[in-house]
């Protein structure tokens, strides 16, 4: 899916900076290469070192003078060029007036001038010229050429950067034209049925505006997609780009921000101006919270650039000028920190919550991601969906990808259910710590600790069913007892929460009963049990002493600095009583776990011994051990 989207690159709204030294433009090579090729000929032309004629020996030259065959000579340094009346050796290739040359010995010859005067030879003298080689000339001119080229390239780059300074406020959004549709459509978006219906209405309005305008309906100006990370907000936006027959602008909230104050506001203006020119159009702003945060708030006060950008965005969404032809779709996972002016009707009219998928949605998501993966016949996607509560769409995609990597690592052509199970443990618990060496005594303590969790979870009536118990050390734990809910839960009863605390404390109770001592292995169990007990007492009204009292522990926004000014809404005496109530609930649960494990000590031993032998027990093995030991 992603590879298809990358086949067609979207257009950029603004011009990016040119690369240094001219980028890929290399036209200067067309001038430099001919210059280098013709440099030897230019050297010959300017130095005058090319001479015509035939070289003869100095002895032969003297004999030609004695014969009177030399008409005139030209002397330049040690070289003598002579014009002869008759060619040397009477060669037919040399006509009358042929030239020859030779060199005077380095020690000189005073008699040669006397002979020339005696024979009445015309003598020309010229200054000596040293021959200049091509390489010597190249070495002299090459540094100059390099300096000229560097200066030209730097000047060109500075001129380009000067242009970019004035274009820094241009629109940086990616534009998807009608002819360059995204490959993702709503068929590729599994689950999210309510969100797709809401968004399809907007897409339908853009395709058939007259049908809605006849009855006086106006399309929402803004749609705000809210949900945890990985739930499909950006995927929905890509599907809109694939379904809508109008220009689609995509931009992240951080793309508006710049170090210069006013640049973000300029980019917002240019973005909406470009969209209005191509109206009707859709603008998608991802991570809206990076630019739409509450104004005038935060630990360090306001932020001028962000607030000016937000002010411009508010004006473009619903300002003095009408903006009926441009629809803005934004996504965020932090709606609590957005500015209230951004959320009012007329700007973002609809707030679509995209929550974690349910069991049915998870199955549909797995089916979409399993299209291009060869699954074995034993793979049941419905079972996998039930075994992955709390997984987002991105988590499910990663789960199948990890399973495919495991299958490929073992050189198999299909993905088995065991591959998916191992991938799920890897995602939830981390990698196996194969290099970790645990001695026999510690391994036995871990086995009894997990057996305590498993025994209490199997016997108590209001707990989630057991799924797996393992003492294989992983990245985040030395052992794990996994429970999976039989169905989706949205409300939790007091009995369920009390039994859950008992299960959390079962591991420490088992250590104390069997080894008459305790270890540090129950740290996370205590933390979660205390957090759950505090929620029951302070927020959920599940305390007999406090009844419907709420401590007012509303979650504050750390980004807005509200936690620093938070005031407790109850007295010190009430806080002391809340702590006592929490401790009483934990002591009661600990006592219940101790009584339960003491009563079923044989079952505890059976589970621990099986764990020491196999290291991991599945649901059927656990059922057999518990039912056989309890006689049920």
β-pairing verdict for 79-84 and 99-103: antiparallel
| Local confidence band at 566 (pLDDT 50, 70, 90 cut-offs) | low
Which uninterrupted H or E stretch holds 535?
helix 523-538
| Local confidence band at 97 (pLDDT 50, 70, 90 cut-offs) | low
* Least reliable range by pLDDT among 132-146, 275-289, 384-398: 132-146
Query: Of 303, 146, 329, nearest to 222 (Cα)?
Result: 329
| Local confidence band at 594 (pLDDT 50, 70, 90 cut-offs) | very high
Interval 69-94 mean pLDDT:
76
Do the domains 440-630 and 174-353 match in fold?
no
Domain coordinates in residue numbering, the chain: 17-45+133-166, 50-126, 174-353, 359-429, 440-630
| Local confidence band at 502 (pLDDT 50, 70, 90 cut-offs) | very high
Interval 483-496 mean pLDDT:
85
For the cut 50, the answer to whether the pLDDT of residue 426 exceeds it is yes
So what's the pLDDT on residue 279?
A: 74
- Could you tell me which residues are beta bridge partners of residue 284? 250, 329
Q: Indicate the SS3 state at residue 330.
A: strand
For the cut 80, the answer to whether the pLDDT of residue 7 exceeds it is no
Total residue count of the chain as it appears in this document: 632
Interval 362-377 mean pLDDT:
87
Which CATH number, 3.30.720.210, 2.40.30.10, 3.40.190.10, 3.10.180.10, labels domain 50-126? 3.30.720.210
Residue 528 vs residues 497, 503, 505, 511: alpha-carbon distances, Å? 12, 11, 10, 18
So what's the pLDDT on residue 169?
A: 46
* Cβ-contact 411, 370 below 8 angstroms: no
Interval 182-190 mean pLDDT:
73
**pLDDT tens digit sequence for 126-181:** 776 655 556 666 667 777 777 777 777 777 766 655 445 444 445 556 676 654 55
Global pTM value: 0.65
CA–CA separation, 256 vs 569, rounded Å? 40
Both tokens assigned to 88: 């040397």
So what's the pLDDT on residue 13?
A: 47
Work out the mean pLDDT of the chain and round it to a whole number.
77
**pLDDT tens digit sequence for 457-485:** 999 999 988 888 998 888 778 888 888 88
So what's the pLDDT on residue 299?
A: 47
Could you tell me which residues come within 8 angstroms of residue 355 by beta carbon, excluding any fewer than 6 positions away?
227, 228, 231
Q: Indicate the SS3 state at residue 570.
A: coil
CATH T-level assignment (fold) for domain 359-429: Helicase, Ruva Protein; domain 3 (1.10.8)
Number of neighbouring beta carbons within 10 Å of residue 161: 12
So what's the pLDDT on residue 606?
A: 92
Could you tell me which residues come within 8 angstroms of residue 522 by beta carbon, excluding any fewer than 6 positions away?
449, 505, 507, 508, 511
What letter would DSSP give residue 543? B
Q: Of 64, 307, 316, 450, which residue is the catalytic one?
A: 450
Which uninterrupted H or E stretch holds 361?
helix 359-369
Angle between helix axes 572-599 and 494-515 (nearest 10 degrees) is: 60
Both tokens assigned to 195: 């969100």
CA–CA separation, 127 vs 264, rounded Å? 73
**Residue 48: what are its φ and ψ, rounded to 5°?**
70, 25
* Cβ-contact 190, 365 below 8 angstroms: yes
* Cβ-contact 211, 336 below 8 angstroms: no
Beta strands in 167-299 (DSSP E): 174-176, 222-226, 248-252, 281-286
CA–CA separation, 424 vs 402, rounded Å? 8
CA–CA separation, 238 vs 243, rounded Å? 9
CA–CA separation, 196 vs 575, rounded Å? 47
Interval 79-97 mean pLDDT:
67
Query: Of 624, 603, 632, nearest to 452 (Cα)?
Result: 603
CA–CA separation, 220 vs 349, rounded Å? 6
CA–CA separation, 38 vs 44, rounded Å? 10
- Which sign does the torsion angle of CA 318, 319, 320, 321 carry? negative
* Cβ-contact 504, 529 below 8 angstroms: yes
Which CATH number, 3.40.50.300, 1.10.10.10, 1.10.3720.10, 3.40.50.1820, labels domain 174-353? 3.40.50.300
Q: Is 450 a catalytic residue?
A: yes
Q: Indicate the SS3 state at residue 176.
A: strand
Domain 440-630 has CATH 1.20.58.760: yes
* Least reliable range by pLDDT among 393-397, 464-468, 488-492: 488-492
- Could you tell me which residues are beta bridge partners of residue 100? 54, 82
Which uninterrupted H or E stretch holds 497?
helix 494-515
**pLDDT tens digit sequence for 207-247:** 777 787 788 777 777 888 888 888 888 888 777 777 777 77
So what's the pLDDT on residue 165?
A: 45
**pLDDT tens digit sequence for 503-516:** 999 999 999 999 99
CA triple 304-309-313, angle to 5 deg: 145
């Amino acid at each position: 899916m992603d590879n298809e989207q990358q086949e067609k690159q979207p257009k950029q709204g603004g011009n990016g900076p040119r690369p240094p030294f001219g980028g890929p433009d290399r036209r200067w090579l067309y001038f430099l290469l001919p210059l280098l090729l013709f440099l030897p000929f230019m050297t010959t032309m300017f130095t005058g070192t090319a001479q015509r004629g035939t070289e003869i020996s100095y002895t032969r030259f003297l004999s030609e003078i004695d014969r009177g065959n030399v008409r005139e000579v030209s002397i330049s340094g040690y070289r003598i060029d002579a014009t002869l009346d008759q060619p040397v050796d009477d060669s037919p290739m040399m006509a009358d007036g042929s030239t020859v040359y030779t060199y005077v010995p380095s020690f000189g010859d005073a008699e040669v001038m006397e002979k020339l005067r005696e024979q009445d030879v015309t003598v020309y003298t010229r200054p000596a010229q040293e021959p200049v080689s091509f390489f010597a000339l190249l070495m002299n001119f090459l540094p100059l050429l390099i300096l000229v080229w560097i200066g030209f390239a730097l000047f060109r780059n500075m001129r380009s950067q000067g242009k970019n300074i004035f274009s820094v406020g241009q629109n940086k959004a990616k534009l998807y034209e009608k002819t360059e549709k995204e490959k993702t459509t709503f068929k590729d978006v599994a689950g999210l049925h309510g969100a797709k219906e809401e968004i399809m209405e907007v897409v339908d309005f853009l395709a058939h505006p007259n049908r809605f305008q006849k009855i006086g309906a106006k399309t929402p100006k803004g749609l705000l997609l809210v949900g945890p990370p990985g739930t499909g907000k950006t995927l929905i936006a890509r599907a809109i780009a694939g379904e809508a027959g109008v220009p689609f602008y995509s931009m992240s909230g951080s793309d508006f921000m710049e170090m210069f104050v006013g640049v973000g506001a300029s980019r917002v203006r240019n973005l909406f101006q470009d969209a209005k020119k191509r109206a009707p159009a859709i603008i998608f702003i991802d991570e809206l919270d990076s630019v739409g945060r509450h104004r005038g708030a935060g630990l360090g006060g306001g932020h001028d650039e962000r607030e000016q950008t937000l002010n411009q965005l508010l004006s473009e969404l619903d300002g003095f000028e009408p903006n009926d032809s441009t629809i803005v779709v934004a996504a965020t996972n932090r709606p609590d920190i957005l500015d209230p002016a951004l959320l009012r009707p007329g700007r973002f009219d609809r707030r679509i919550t995209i929550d974690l998928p349910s069991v049915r949605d998870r199955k549909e998501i797995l089916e979409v991601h399993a299209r291009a993966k060869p699954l074995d016949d034993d793979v049941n996607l419905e079972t996998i969906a039930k075994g992955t509560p709390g997984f987002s769409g991105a988590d499910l995609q990663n789960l199948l990808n990890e399973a495919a990597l495991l299958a490929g690592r073992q050189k198999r052509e299909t993905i088995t259910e065991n591959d998916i199970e191992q991938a799920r443990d890897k995602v939830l618990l981390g990698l196996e710590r194969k290099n970790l060496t645990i001695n026999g005594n510690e391994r036995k303590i871990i086995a009894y600790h997990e057996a305590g969790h498993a025994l209490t979870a199997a016997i108590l009536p209001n707990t989630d069913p057991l799924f797996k118990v393992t003492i294989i050390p992983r990245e985040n734990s030395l052992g794990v007892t996994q429970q999976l809910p039989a169905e989706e839960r949205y409300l939790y009863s007091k009995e369920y929460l009390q039994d859950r605390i008992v299960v959390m404390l079962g591991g420490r109770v088992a250590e104390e009963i069997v080894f008459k001592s305790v270890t540090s292995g129950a740290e996370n169990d205590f933390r979660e049990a205390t957090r759950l007990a505090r929620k029951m007492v302070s927020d959920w009204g599940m305390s007999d002493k406090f009844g419907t009292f709420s401590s007012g522990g509303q979650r504050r926004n750390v980004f807005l600095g509200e936690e620093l000014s938070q005031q407790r809404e109850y007295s010190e005496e009430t806080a002391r009583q809340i702590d006592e109530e929490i401790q009483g609930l934990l002591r009661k649960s600990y006592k219940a776990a101790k009584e339960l494990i003491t009563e079923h000590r044989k079952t505890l031993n059976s589970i621990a011994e099986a764990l020491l032998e196999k290291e991991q027990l599945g649901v059927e093995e656990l059922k057999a051990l518990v039912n056989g030991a309890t006689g049920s």
